[in-house]
Amino acid sequence: MRLDVVTIFPEYLEPLNVSLVGKARARGQLDVNVHDLREWTYDRHNTVDDTPYGGGPGMVMKTDPWGAALDDVLAEGYEDGAHGPVLVVPTPSGRPFTQELAVELSERPWLVFTPARYEGIDRRVMDEYATRMPVYEVSIGDYVLAGGEAAVLVVTEAVARLLPGVLGNAESHRDDSFAPGAMANLLEGPIYTKPPQWRGHGIPDVLLSGHHGKIARWRRDEALRRTTRNRPDLIERCDPGAFDKKDREMLSILGWRPGPDGRFGRDPEAVEE
């Protein structure tokens, strides 16, 4: 996979040399190219922003540097033999970045990121490139960052670990908390490693029992417990067919009941476990 990032803070992307993404680059599984947007400015002050039409606070990133940069970055990529680019525009106004979108992006051969600073990029830039390639405007969460660079790191890491051969163990994706297409997306419960005692804290006996069936059941119960507590929306969205008899017993203990459509919701009478 080829990645291009155009930014006014190339040094912000240094973490792409580290850990999983860094290793994928070193192995040639990922070809990352970071570009400084200011190289495509032609005035004395290397201006990339201007005041918004219609007034209002903040500044807007100008069309010309982005247009010139993206034309060159795309031309260079095509010359290197890349194909099928998609533009990934991090913005708090984008669609939520999910595991499903990470999988979709991981299937594309070439991602071009345009992290913005200030209030964002002049709309015409996205409109122009949308005539040539898919444009994904993505938000990594309901909060506003000072710029899109951190979002590029997030998206890149989520996508890179899905590339064939990057994680080593292909099965690990299937069990991801948010694996798309799963009947139920549950959060993972607590995990433990040696030593068996630490500062007076032990580990649940069942994990030492060697009984695979009981361990699997315990893990599932803990996943239900954690999901009901931290992400009740995931339980509410679950296909009720995803829950077996034991799941239903656990959900009942946790104060959850099936509604008229079969989907589970929190029993308003129940006391928090």
Q: Is 145 in the site for ligand ADE (CB under 6 A)?
A: yes
The token duo for 213 is 């069936």
Do residues 88 and 112 touch, judged by C-beta distance below 8 A? yes
Is 239 annotated as a binding-site member?
A: no
The token duo for 217 is 């059941």
For ligand ADE, give the closer residue by CB, 139 or 185.
139
Phi, psi of 123 (to 5 degrees): -50, -30
Do residues 50 and 187 touch, judged by C-beta distance below 8 A? no
- Residue in the shown chain whose Cβ atom is closest to ligand ADE: 90
Q: Is 105 in the site for ligand ADE (CB under 6 A)?
A: no
Task: Please confirm whether the linkage preceding 134 is cis (ω < 30° from 0).
Answer: no
**Contacting range for ligand ADE; rule: CB under 6 A; set: 31-39, 104-112, 145-153, 251-259:** 145-153
**Contacting range for ligand ADE; rule: CB under 6 A; set: 67-75, 87-95, 196-204, 229-237:** 87-95
- Element at 96 (helix H, strand E): strand 85-96
Q: How many residues sit in the footprint of ligand ADE (CB under 6 A)? A: 11
How far is residue 49's CA from residue 183's CA, in Å, rounded to a whole number? 46
Is 141 annotated as a binding-site member?
A: yes
Candidate residues 55, 144, 194, 213; the one interacting with ligand ADE per rule CB under 6 A: 144
* 14 in catalytic set: no
For ligand ADE, give the closer residue by CB, 141 or 204.
141
How far is residue 18's CA from residue 166's CA, in Å, rounded to a whole number? 14
Is 3 annotated as a binding-site member?
A: no
Enumerate the active-site residues. 92, 119, 161, 176
